[in-house]
């Protein structure tokens, strides 16, 4: 799987990356290029998926970009590692299984840093669950399958300023919070975290990918 590392270019404009993602998606779907992981840090932006409700954006002055992924409204910005796996899916297109694979890759990554993370029943993403505390989401996930090829992906809070989530109801969930790796005592750059996440993604996504001999 090839890597399109936009982190080396600094923070990226959302519209420019979205256009780049869609061009890459078309090429992967057509078999013109290899499966790719896009690694990104965005300029501040709020995006709204297909399940966004008006009440999820209580501040009418928040500029929101509608986008064709699942999930509700979320925030992307400095200190957050965003990964878009663009892969051609082999066999059954099981979106739930694919989301679980992304979650597991992040759970395994966080375990390397001594962070115990997991899933919450009925809620997508990766969570920090502690007795007597609100559940806190550390990684949001929103994906789309089109032409048997995946789009969008995950957003992991590494050193994110969590105050930027306060203008929305993140992912439409009112009885939970958000957290970053920094808040949990891990101080790492996005490049360092990405380098350790990529192998976990490659391992978890291998079963979804079209075998090389079928793309030759």
Sequence ranges of the domains in the chain: 2-215
CA distance to 102, 138, 166, 170, 179, per residue, from 107 (Å): 9, 10, 25, 20, 14
Task: Assess whether pLDDT exceeds 50 at residue 216.
Answer: no
Q: What is the pLDDT of residues 98-151, one digit of tens each?
A: 999 999 999 999 999 999 999 999 889 999 999 888 899 999 999 999 999 999
- On whether the pTM is more than 0.85, the answer is yes
Among 88, 102, 94, 116, CA closest to 202: 102
Q: What is the pLDDT of residues 17-35, one digit of tens each?
A: 999 999 999 999 999 999 9
Tell me if residue 171 is catalytic: yes
Task: Assess whether pLDDT exceeds 90 at residue 165.
Answer: no
CA distance to 6, 55, 104, per residue, from 38 (Å): 7, 31, 18
Which of these is catalytic: 57, 102, 126, 171? 171
Distance CA 135, CA 170 (A): 13
- Please give the CATH topology (third level) of the domain spanning 2-215: BirA Bifunctional Protein; domain 2 (3.30.930)
- Phi first, then psi, for residue 212 (nearest 5°) are -55, -40
């Amino acid at each position: 799987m090839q890597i399109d590392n936009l982190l080396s270019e600094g923070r990226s404009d959302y519209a420019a990356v979205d256009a780049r993602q869609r061009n890459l998606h078309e090429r992967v779907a057509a078999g013109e290029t290899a499966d790719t992981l896009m690694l990104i840090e965005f300029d501040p932006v709020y995006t709204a998926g297909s399940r966004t409700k008006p009440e999820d954006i209580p501040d009418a002055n928040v500029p929101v970009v509608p986008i064709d992924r699942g999930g509700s409204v979320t925030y992307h910005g400095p200190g957050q590692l965003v990964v878009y796996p663009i892969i051609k899916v082999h066999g059954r297109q099981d979106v739930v299984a694919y989301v679980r694979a992304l979650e597991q890759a992040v759970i395994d990554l966080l375990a390397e840093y001594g962070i115990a993370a997991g899933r919450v029943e009925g809620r997508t993403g990766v969570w920090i669950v502690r007795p007597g505390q609100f559940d806190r989401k550390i990684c949001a996930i929103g994906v789309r399958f089109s032409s048997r090829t995946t789009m969008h992906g995950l957003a992991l809070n590494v050193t994110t300023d969590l105050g930027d989530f306060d203008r929305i109801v993140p992912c439409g969930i009112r009885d939970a919070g958000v957290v970053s790796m920094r808040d949990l005592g891990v101080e790492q750059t996005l490049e360092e975290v990405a380098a350790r996440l990529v192998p976990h993604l490659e391992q978890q996504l291998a079963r979804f990918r079209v075998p090389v001999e079928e793309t030759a």
